[in-house]
Structures are given as C-alpha cells and as structure tokens.
Amino acid sequence: MSDWKVRIDEAKNRLYLTLDGQLSVAEAEAAADEVIAKSGRLEPGFDEVNDMRTFKTTDEAALEHIERGKRGIVENGVAAVCRVVSESATGQMQFDRAGEGAEEYPVAKADSVEEAEKLLDSRRSG
C-alpha cells in the first residue's frame, strides 16, 4: 500500500509533501505534478517539509518523476527543504540520489515534522 499527499500553507509560505510506501510510476507522476502545481502558488523563497518516514524503495521510472518534482520546486523558487527521514535507509538513499544535480537548495534532515518545521523556522529568523 502506498500513498502521497501535498498541501501548502500560504501563511508560512511552505509546501508539505508526504510520501508513504512504495510509489508506483503513476503515483510518482501524479505527486510530482501536484508538487509543481502547488509550489507554483507559493511565493519564491518558500520552503518544504518532506515527510518520508515510511517511504520505501521504488521503481527507477518512478524516480524520474521524483527528480522532475525536485527540478520543479527549484524552478518555482524553493529556498530550503527539510526531510523527515525514512525508516528505510535504502529508500532514503534512493530518494536522495534522484535528481542530485537538481537540488540547488539546502537540505536538512529531521526525525519529525515538528522538528523539521522548527529547523525551517529558525533558518528564516536566524
């Protein structure tokens, strides 16, 4: 079983992406499309919390869409990303490798969404 969810908080200028399980190619494509569309509604300089605690290793074709999503947030002006780390070390490494060259933004890692939000908030105020 897999699932994904994308939401934005316009007041915080923040995108939230949750990836759960092993995404199919179609799911990865739909998630990337929604990430790009919703990040385009935020002001340049937005940040992202990516909750991937339960993300599992996926198909190489699905990773192409993950890479496209990473490029899309760069084009829409992402300033920083904080990833809530995966239970699957392999899934985490696979996600990190997808689109490595596209990540022109700082990436931090956290153990919870709350910790990720605090890290991104402190970056803005710091």
* Residue 115: predicted pLDDT: 92
Distances (CA, A) of 23 to 30, 31, 46, 66, 75: 10, 9, 25, 10, 24
Question: Which structure tokens are listed for 16?
Answer: 């939230």
Q: What is the pLDDT of residues 29-51, one digit of tens each?
A: 999 999 999 999 999 999 999 99
- How much is the pLDDT for 55? 87
**CA-CA distance, 82 to 120, in Å (whole number)?**
7
Mind listing the pLDDT tens digit for each residue in 49-104?
A: 999 988 887 888 998 999 999 999 999 999 999 999 866 566 556 656 665 665 66
pLDDT attached to residue 107: 82
Which of residues 108 and 23 earns the better pLDDT score? 23
